[in-house]
Chain A
Amino acid sequence: MAPNVVPMDYTKDPDVKLPMQLIINMPELKENPFKERIVESFSEDGEGSLSFNDFVDMFSVLSEMAPRELKAIYAFKIYDFNTDNFICKSDLEKTLNKLTREELTAEEITLVCEKVIEEADMDGDGKLGFADFENMISKAPDFLSTFHIRI
């Protein structure tokens, strides 16, 4: 992607990072509404720049071979927009807007968010912790087949 920045020889473990802009323009990620969040979740420094190790990590988790628990952990990170380790109502609203490109009315968005929290929240705190999320994902039949990228 950036032949002038990335050296061919990695044996000396050079510290090269690619900026987020370059990565989210990859054909595999270009159409994904969550591309910025994906890159941020795998980046060491939290800003979105990926070193080679982070890059390989990202595609390894998103490949077909990765186990469900691993994918659930990173999916939780991706959907947690404000990174407070909970998926709260505002995170859900942002997710929905990204999914439907803001075509739903505000009332519909509120209804859907309420339904999601009602379905998945186990401990009754009004937002989804990691335990709730993992429990819900283990029952979602499509998760494994949709949460992977083909390269």
Chain B
Amino acid sequence: MSGLGAAAEPPSWLRGSREVFPPEEPGAAAPVGFLQQLPSYQSALRRRNAPGAGTQGRRAAQQGSWGRRGAEARGPEQDGGEREARPAREYPLSIAEKRRLRVLQQADTKYLSGWKQWKRASNKSLKKALNEVKELTSYLELWRHDIHSIEGKFGTGIQSYFSFLRFLVLLNFIMFILMFSFVTFPSIISKYGIFNSTFANIPPQNTEPHCTVYTPSGNKGLVYFYTYLKDLLSGTGFLEVTSLFYGYYTIHTAWFSNLSYNLPLAYLLATFAYLALSFIWIIKRSVEGFKQNLVHGEDQFQSYCNKVFAGWDFCITDPNAARLKHRNLQYELQTDLEEERLKRKIADRTVKEKLRIYSLRIFINIIVIAVLSGCFYSIYRATVFSQENSSDISNTNFQANLLVQYLPSIVITLANFIAPQIFSFLITFEGYSPAFEIKLTLMRCVFVRLANIGVLLFSLWSQIYCATDECKACGYNYKLYPCWETEVGQEMYKLTIFDFMIILAVTLFVGFPRKLLVTHWSCKLVQWYGLQEFSISDNVLEIIYGQTICWIGTFFSPLLPAIATIKYFIIFYIKKISLIHTCKPAARPIRASSSNFFFLLVLLIGLILSFIPLAISIAHIPSSKACGPFRSFNTSWEVVPDTVLGFPTGLQQVLYGVASEAFAVPFFVVICIIMFYFMALAGAHKRVVEQLREQLVLASRDKLFLIRKITEAQRHP
């Protein structure tokens, strides 16, 4: 090791001191005696030379003080009890020395009792078995090889997008399995009488007869071919009566040879289950990133060190990717320096300039709100228009009908495309630092996308709510929507299909022609326009939007997760091909660690936002009396109190007690107190870490000072 040459004298095990004290200090050899006696130094030495050795272990071995190390190794084991020796793999020694170390460790075991020996051996074989199992399961991981190669060629930022996509595919698949096995499968087998099953369909009591009229026009007789296509694309016609939509599950109980299966309860509980499952899974995945963010805060207090020492991605093997990475690093460092300059400029702003900037910001925010209101209003009008005109069956013009059906989806997609462009244009005038600019634009885009879905649902409900007395008897607009849940399900279905088609179309009809243009036409304008950038944040927002629709829509259309799984599965390959062939990676790189947490955070926001429409639909809006499993209940939620009434009295009392205010309010207060406690604890820890850092710096300065004094005192006694 080349470092050894520089350390001819003093002996190697003093190298620890050389790392703290500069070697140029005159007379450094003289006070060395004191330094060896410092208790902190002794304990550091002992820690390093025990079975957990650092670099000094290597020198010591070469110096032949193996016996001393062996004795020291045995020492702490005898007084500290059995200490798990780390596997030889984890020591920073060369292979030859690791082999010697292993021999030594095996010799050590002879000194232990038989029980401890067996324990150690079984631990070792258990670890080995676990490792093998882990390796095998990693082969089963979906798309392992694809994501590896993407990471190698394009870096960890883009790889995090594809890992996120894979996570969504798995999540949707599990949701589909859940809904299928508890809702769809029992319905199908009881409807077809397989396994000696029957079903009971209890007609709703206490409702007007006009509420229960529902005749879905499944295509009967001869129809034009394109009707099937129209039905496939908009979920009407023959699709409406299939198990895809809520209307199919008009069963109250299913009987499997003496076992009764309460389908309405199962439907509701499966809905809660998939929401809870998504929530827990996302939180579990985001805990890691959250810990990092909490401890290190928003300001990247080590951004330069991180970029210099952990900036180069050692996985890169492609020369193009390497060139790109060099440019990215250079760009990042230059941006950081630029931000420093800007921060200083902002701090130097005069009062007059501040006033100007703030009034400009208020004005731009007003424009942003105006843009948002424009989007929301156009979505509302489009939905109302589409709902009013699509039920006009006499309109047999295929294209016009399809256009009217898809009008809300088209308007939403346009809004999702135009609004971010406007936002990124406006933000350049607001005079924020570049990092904050990116964050604010992203937040605004997220808000637009999620709020658009909310407005669509709101406009649907404004149609469902009714005004006339006759309609109030049913609770919903029975004339237009005898089965309103299926309508909502159809809208969600249309949104999903349209989203998928847009992604396909943009890749095929915009990405590839652009690439052809740029490669074959060397006009300056075209070259300046360049290839499409793979913007990670835009792509992520796109798939989060699709996933929010899936979460909301699964209650109304239980097979929607299956469609979403297939959709994301195909999107993976489309995006991969588009990335490899038609894109250049974004000039502004996003770091993998913070971006993972950001994706999951936005996904969580989407999930929580999807709770609201579902809660309103389940608990507030009366369920359809003409179709679906909740015919005999007022609202979908009522099946739960109904079931609870069937429980033994003791259990009922407990459940009522838990749900009453007397329990809920103190529980909520206790949870708040616990939360505040943890927040205060985290804040205190942060402060303590800062203080300890300062103390460390001062302590080492003290040591330097003392050393100097001692050397002087020794020189002039």
Give the B-binding residues of A (Cβ under 8 A).
27-28, 30-34, 40, 44, 46, 53-54, 56-57, 60-62, 65-67, 69-70, 73-75, 77, 79, 83-86, 92, 95-96, 99-101, 103-104, 108, 111-112, 115-116, 119-120, 122-125, 129-131, 133, 136-137, 139-143, 145-150
Contacts and interface: CB of A to CB of B under 8 A. Distances in A.
A123 B697 contact: yes
Given A99-B326, A100-B330, A83 B6 contact: yes
List the 7 closest A-B pairs by CB distance, nearest first: A46-B2, A53-B95, A123-B700, A31-B322, A141-B593, A143-B310, A100-B330
A129 B337 contact: no
Contact of B315 (A66, A112, A123, A150): A150
B592 A30 contact: no
A132 to B, nearest CB: 9
A85 B19 contact: yes
Interface in B606-650: none
7 contacts: A28-B317, A112-B308, A120-B302, A120-B305, A140-B305, A142-B156, A150-B315
A34 B312 CA distance: 9
B334 to A, nearest CB: 7
Contacts of B470: none
B316 interface: yes
Nearest to B97: A53
Contacts of B309: 75, 79, 95, 133, 136-137, 140, 143
Given A31-B318, A116-B304, A119-B301, A137 B329 contact: no
A73 B91 CA distance: 10
A77 B2 CA distance: 10
Interface residues of B, number: 61
Nearest to B329: A99
A101 B308 contact: no
A141 B306 contact: yes
Interface in B129-166: 148, 151-152, 156
Given A83-B6, A149-B314, A142 B19 contact: no
B444 interface: no
A143 B330 CA distance: 18
B326 A101 contact: yes
Q: What secondary structure prevails in chain B residues at the interface with A?
A: helix
A61 to B, nearest CB: 8
Interface in B508-540: none
Interface string B44-59: 0000000000110000
Contacts of A112: 304, 308, 333, 337
A40 B148 CA distance: 28
A142 B329 CA distance: 14
Contacts of B310: 137, 140-143, 146-147
B149 to A, nearest CB: 9
B20 interface: yes
Contacts of A123: 20, 696-697, 700-701, 704
A67 B92 CA distance: 10
Contact of A54 (B94, B318, B700): B94
Interface string B292-305: 10001000011011
Contacts of A86: 19
Contacts of A33: 312, 326
A84 to B, nearest CB: 6
A148 B312 CA distance: 10
B314 A124 contact: no
A95 B308 contact: yes
Contact of B19 (A99, A115, A119, A129): A129
B70 interface: no
Contact of B96 (A46, A53, A125): A53
Contacts of B151: 150
Given A83-B6, A99-B326, A116 B305 contact: yes
B148 A129 contact: no
Interface in B301-347: 301-302, 304-306, 308-319, 321-322, 326-327, 329-330, 333-334, 337
Contacts of B306: 140-143
Nearest to A120: B305
B9 interface: no
Nearest to A103: B330
Given A99-B312, A119-B304, 7 more contacts: A73-B54, A85-B6, A95-B309, A96-B308, A112-B304, A116-B304, A150-B148
Contact of B20 (A70, A75, A129): A129
Contact of A32 (B19, B304, B314): B314
Nearest to A101: B326
A44 B315 contact: no
B2 A40 contact: yes
